Structure 1
């Protein structure tokens, strides 16, 4: 057995002997104060857990406090057994506070970081040294050709689909005065053409004036 192993076993044997000796007196103390057997066991369990936690994480304050609480329970138990003191309200109050104090400090120690715990060093990530492969010019040219192939070629103005689908705008209708000016005649002549059926009226406007379609003018008038 190595020297370190012997130290471990010495500490464990000392702790086991101390708890075994004190637990009996603490149990009897709880019984003398009126606690029933299942409840009386909780007094030595609470005190001994506090002592173990204080020694494990070794906080000087908690080591001293846990041993003081354990020692107070021992003195009270042996004094009652020897008949030196009797059960009083003060004694009941002090013993009743042993368990809550032990419970509070045990959980406080369990939430703290042990002093001998060394923080784990954060290892920085190793940069990836794999070289990045750049695309060759041939691959780039292929991508450009594919992009150009998918694009729609622009058509000259007036040859697109929209130009073919666009309907021609309707012609401007002519009044009697316009027809007379076009053929160099008097407006009364235009009215006579209408009466004789030589000139067809296309429609009437809001002012009831005769309107003529330029493509329906008489052939003789055009020449």
Structure 2
């Protein structure tokens, strides 16, 4: 649905223009600065509700005109603040509450669909027919092999045992002292080539899975040997 931006823009401008006068009138009759702001807010909400529902638009606009006119008359000194004026401003919030809720309670009537006339004027929708399940014909246990072969492939199933998951067992590989020295020399060469420093004990521990004592002794053996 296409939105009428001009219409709602004019509404917003009018609400802003009238809010100041409504606020000043509430302050003039004794409302504090926070409560006084609720008076223009209440009138604006009532006007928007009336415009959206299409009812009581004239009453909402007349209320805004009356409040704005009274505010300007008080500001100009043409009308004094009196008891009737204070009572009228104090009644704005309760009246707006009543009318906004009255406009919001109007709901469209829901009519049930008419599917046919029944004797006695009782109109009820006929129950939907439930389709019967189709059960495929299965040959008896004494059927011949030719009868079984005539069945569709999707109707005959063969039980297949579930495949057992393969179990992969990994055993730790133990390195001999010669293998450890060879790997340590390799790590040392890489460390010297990249950092220009011998391999550290921590690197030997992490790469070869050694204790600190074992890594210390191994480093002492290979740290001076940089060649192959």
- TM-score between the two structures when normalised by the length of structure 1: 0.50
Task: Give the number of aligned pairs.
Answer: 129
Q: Which runs of 5+ in 1 are unaligned?
A: 139-223
Q: Deviations over 1:30-72 (max 9, x none)?
A: 011111001001101111110000001111xx21111111111
Residue 127 of structure 1 corresponds to 129
1:63 to 57, 65, 71: 57
Corresponding residue for residue 48 of structure 1: 44
Determine the C-alpha separation between the residues in 2 that align with 1:68 and 1:9: 24
5 Å-filtered alignment, 1:155-194, equals: none
Tell me, yes or no, if structure 1 residue 102 matches structure 2 residue 96. Answer: yes
Bigger Rg, which one: 1
**Residue 198 (structure 1) aligns with:** none
Match of 1:190 in 2: none
Q: Any idea what SS the aligned residue of 2:91 has? A: helix
Which of 3, 6, 13 is the matching residue for 1:10? Answer: 6
3-state SS of 1:18 partner: helix
CA drift of 1:119 comes to 6.7
Instruction: Quote the residue 2:34 is aligned against.
Output: 38
Gaps of 5+ in 2: 116-124, 141-228
State the distance in 2 between where 1:69 and 1:120 align: 40
RMSD (Å), alpha carbons = 3.3
Deviation at 1:16, TM superposition (A): 0.2
The structural deviation recorded for 1:130 is 2.9
| 1:81–1:119 Cα change, 3 Å | farther
Question: Quick one: distance in 2 between partners of 1:38 and 1:109?
Answer: 27
Listed one character per residue, the Cα deviations across residues 109-133 of structure 1 (whole Å, up to 9, x for unaligned) are 111126xx98796996643233687
User: Per the alignment, in what secondary structure is the counterpart of residue 93 of structure 1?
Assistant: helix
Q: Report the CA distance shift for 1:21/1:119 in structure 2 as closer, same or farther (over 3 A).
A: farther
